[in-house]
Amino acid sequence: MNRLTSVLLCVTCAAALWADDLPLGAFDYPDTAAARQRWQPQFGSRPVRVEALPDGTTCLALDADFPAAKARACWDWVAPMDLSSAARVAFEIAADNGAVVEMAMIYFGTAKGWYAHVLGGGVPGDWTGRSEPLSAFSAEGTPDGWDKVERLRVSVWSSAPGKATFRLRRLRVVAADPGENFLPNGSFEISGAGMPYAWGSGHWGVGELPWFADMDLWRRHWRLDDAAARHGTASLRIDNAPGQPLLQLTSAGFTPPPSAPRSVLSAWVRADRDGLPVTLRCGQHRAAVEAGTAWRQVALTGIVRAEHLRATIAPGAAGTLWIDAVQVQAGDEPTADFHPADLDPATATREAAVDWSPPARTAAVAAGRGAGEPLTAPARVRIDTEGRFLVDGRPYLQHSFGLEFVSHLDVLNAVAGYGFRDVCIQIRESLTTAQLTAIFDRCAAVGLRLIPWLDGRMSREQFTAHITALREHPALLCWYVYDEPSGSRFAEADARVHLAKELDPDHPAFVNYLPNRLENQTGDIYSTDVYPIPHGTPMAAIQAVSRMAAAAAPERKPVWMWLQGTGYAYWMAREPTPRELSCMAYGSILAGARGLYYFAQMPRTRQCLDEMRALCVEIDAIAPALGSPSAPPALTCSQPQVMAKAYATTEAVVVIAVNTTSRPCEARFTLASPAGGPAISVLFEDRDVRRDGGAWEDRFGTHERHVYRLSTAP
C-alpha cells in the first residue's frame, strides 16, 4: 500500500469513528426524470439534470445562463426534514465556469421563513467538500425551527454574463461531535509536493535569510517525517540549528463555531532531548510547555472564540521537535485520541488528485535565467495613447516578485538571481527615507526595477519625502501609492495618487483595489489581487482581469494583476501548483493584463518557485508580440475551456492558448489568414504540430498552456 492510499484510508476511517452522518437524497437520483419530480426551478431557471460520473455514481447538475451581472439562478428541493439534532450540513460541489459566480447561497425553508448561509470562497471547478455549521445560518423572515424544514434551496448570483454548470453530490447532515477538531489536517496526513496542507510557518511565504536564498535548506529543517508519527503515517519535524532563525509551525486560519465560546489547543510533541522549551499560541493566549524524548500531549486552555484564529507551536531553542495530532476543540480539556476535522476526508480526496507536475517545457526554459545588468540611468516611463506601459519608448510587460518586507538587502540579490527584472516591495511606515534609498540602491545594483508599494498608514509628510528623494532614481519603475482602500479610505487613496503625480509627473502612480472595485479605478494603472487557491480556481483571477480590462480600455490604461504565489497561511491552505500558477499567468495575459506580480515572499515548494523562474523566460519571450500594434488574424478555438488569442508581429503570428480547467482536452484552432509552412513551432516545448491549411489540433493537460509561432517572414 502506498502512502497516499494509506493516508486516505486513515483519514476516512478516523472520520467514520466520529461523524454520525445521515444522508439526504437531494443530490442523489438515478436519472433526470426522478430528480425533476422533486426539484423545482425558480425565477425562470433551467430544470435540473442528473449526470453520470466516471466512478459509476451520479450527481445533480444545475445549468445556469446568466444574461448579465447580478442575475440569479435558483432551484428548490421540496421535502420535509427534521434537522433539529444536526450540527452541520455537508456536501460536495463543483462547477464549470464557477468564476462567473458573485455569490452562492444555500437555504433551508420553513412555512414562515428561511435559514440562509453564504458559501464563502466561491465555487471551484474540482469537487470540493463543504461542511457548513447550522449555527452559522442566518434567519430571513421568522423560520419555524429546524425541525420544520420543508425545502432546500440552492441559489447563485452572477458577477458577469455567462453560462455555468453547478454539480452537487453526497448531501448529508452531521450530528454534533463533542470532540470536534476545528483544525484541518491536524495530523499532517494530507500533503502535496512534500508540504502539509493548511500548515506553514507563520507568513504567506518565507522571508528570512538564509532560507530565502536557499529554500532547500529550509525544507531540510522544516519537513514531514514519515519515520515518526504519534497518529497516522507522518509527523511534522522542525530541526532548529544553532545560529539560525528559529522555525515554528503555524496553522492556516480557522474560526471556531459559535457553540464553542472557549477552546483548547493541544498537540502531541517529542524532542531529541528532555526539556526543550515550546510555546503554544492561539489568538491572544499562550502557554509555555516542555517537550522530552517521549511523546506527550501539551495543551493551551482558555482560548476565547474569535474570527480567523491561527494555532502556533514554536520551539524556543535549538533542537529537533516532532509535532503530531494537533487539535483545537471546544471546552478546556483535549481528547487524548485524535479527531480529524469534518472536511479532512473530502480534502484528502481532492488534494490527492491535484497535479503538481510542471507544464511541458524544455530543460533550458525550466532552468530560468540569471540576474540582469545593473541599472545606471533613470528609465523614461510613460503610458501611451493606446494604454501601453512604455519604458524607454518600448512596451514593457511588468513581471514582479512581490515582497511584503525586506529582512536583509541580500534578499534582493536572491530575487535578481532567480531571474526577475522587477520587484514590488511594501514600504512600511517604519522605514526611513535613508533606509528606502538603500533598498533602491541595491535594486539598481542587481538589475531590479522597483515598484515601491507605499503603505497607506504612513503620513503624507513621509510619503512626500520618499517620492521627492527617489523620483529620479535608476531603479524606480512607478509609484504604487495605496493598497486595498475601502470606505472612507477611497478619498485618501485618490488624494495620494494626485499628490504623487504632482511630486513626480514623470512616473505613473496607481492604487491596488480590492476585487469589489474592478471599474472606475483612480490612477494611471488598473490593479487588483485575487488569491483563489485551493478553494477556488485560476478562473477567479482571470475573470477579475477581464472586468478590469473592459473598464480600463476606454480610459487607455494598462491592467496589472497580483497573482497568488504563496500559501499555507491565513485562509490559503496551500500554494498554487505550477500548472495553476501558469494558468493564472497566461489566462491573465489573454484577458488583457500587461503586468503581473506574485504575492508574496518566497514560496515553500520548489515547484512553485521553479514555475515562476520559467515564467520569467516565457513571458519575456512573448512580450514583443503582446505589445505589437500589428493587427492579428482572427482565431477560433473548438474547445470552450481553452482560452486562446492570436497576436501578430512583422515576422510571425503568435497564438497563446491555455486550458482553464483541470480536465485534459483536445482543441482545434483555425486562423482566418494562414501564415507560414506546414509545421507550427510550439514555443518552449521543442516540438512542432502539423496543420491543415489554417487549422491545427493539440492536446492540453491540466491547466496547461501552449504557445504557437507561425512565421510570416520570407
Phi first, then psi: what are they for 11, rounded to 5°?
Answer: -65, -45
Q: Which amino acid is at 394?
A: R
Q: Which domains does the chain have, with CATH numbers?
A: 20-175 (2.60.120.260), 191-341 (2.60.120.260), 380-626 (3.20.20.80), 635-711 (2.60.40.1180)
pLDDT score of 714 more than 80: no
Q: What is the pLDDT of residues 591-646, one digit of tens each?
A: 999 999 999 999 999 999 999 999 999 999 999 999 999 999 999 999 999 999 99
Give 565's DSSP letter. -
pLDDT of residue 713: 64
Closest CA to 77 of 143, 168, 164, 174: 168
Average pLDDT over residues 324-331: 97
pLDDT at site 184: 96
Is pLDDT at 17 greater than 90 in this prediction? no
pTM value?
Answer: 0.90
What integer pLDDT is reported at residue 27 of this predicted model? 95
* Peptide linkage before 210 cis (omega within 30 of 0): yes
From 258, 252, 255, 254, select the one nearest 87 (Cα to Cα): 258
Is the pLDDT at 19 greater than 70, yes or no? no
Task: Say if CB 564 and CB 587 are below 8 A apart.
Answer: no
Q: What does 474-528 look like in DSSP terms, one character per residue?
A: TTB--EEEEES--TTHHHHHHHHHHHHHHH-TTS-EEEEB-TT--SS--BSSEEE
Q: Which pLDDT does position 251 carry in this prediction?
A: 98
pLDDT of residue 174: 87
Q: Mean pLDDT throughout 29-43?
A: 96
Q: Which helix (H) or strand (E) holds 468?
A: helix 460-470
91-107 pLDDT per residue, tens = 999 998 887 888 999 99
Question: Measured between alpha carbons, how far is 155 from 75 in angstroms, rounded to an integer?
Answer: 7
pLDDT reported for residue 6: 41
Confidence at residue 13, expressed as pLDDT on a 0 to 100 scale: 38
Nearest 5 degrees, angle CA 390-CA 392-CA 397? Answer: 40
**Max mean pLDDT range (434-443, 527-536, 657-666):** 434-443
Question: Cell 526595477 identifies what position?
Answer: 449
Q: Where do the DSSP E strands lie in 258-339?
A: 262-271, 276-282, 285-291, 296-304, 311-315, 319-330
What's the whole-number mean pLDDT along residues 216-232?
A: 97
Q: Element (H or E) spanning 14, and its range? A: helix 3-18
- Compute the distance between CA of residue 644 and CA of residue 129 in angstroms, rounded to an integer: 31
Tens-place pLDDT, residues 683-710: 999 999 998 888 999 999 999 999 999 9
Q: Are 409 and 439 in contact (CB under 8 A)?
A: yes
Q: What pLDDT does 675 receive?
A: 67
φ, ψ of residue 253 to 5 degrees: the values are -65, 150
CA distance 86 to 172: 10
pLDDT tops 70 at residue 5: no
pLDDT of residue 20: 52
**Separation of alpha carbons 493 and 490, rounded Å:** 5
Q: Tell me the β-bridge partners of 206.
A: 602
Q: In sequence order, what are the residues at sequence separation of 6 or more whose Cβ sits closer than 8 angstroms to the Cβ of residue 692?
A: none
CA distance 199 to 188: 8
Query: In the 8-state DSSP scheme, what is residue 207?
Result: -
Q: Mean pLDDT, the chain, as a whole number?
A: 93
pLDDT in tens, 407-441: 999 999 999 999 999 999 999 999 999 999 999 99
pLDDT, residue 679, reads 85
AA identity, residue 54: P
Q: What is the share, in percent, of the chain residues with pLDDT greater than 90? A: 84
Of the pLDDT bands very low, low, confident and very high (cuts 50, 70, 90), residue 175 is: confident
> In 507-663, which residue ranges form alpha helices assigned H by DSSP?
538-552, 578-591, 606-626
Strands 296-304 and 381-383: unpaired
What's the pLDDT at 14? 35
Residues 6+ apart with CB under 8 A from 109: 76, 115, 143, 149, 150, 151, 152, 153
Pairwise CA distance, residues 364 & 351, whole Å: 30
659 Cα distance to chain centroid: 17
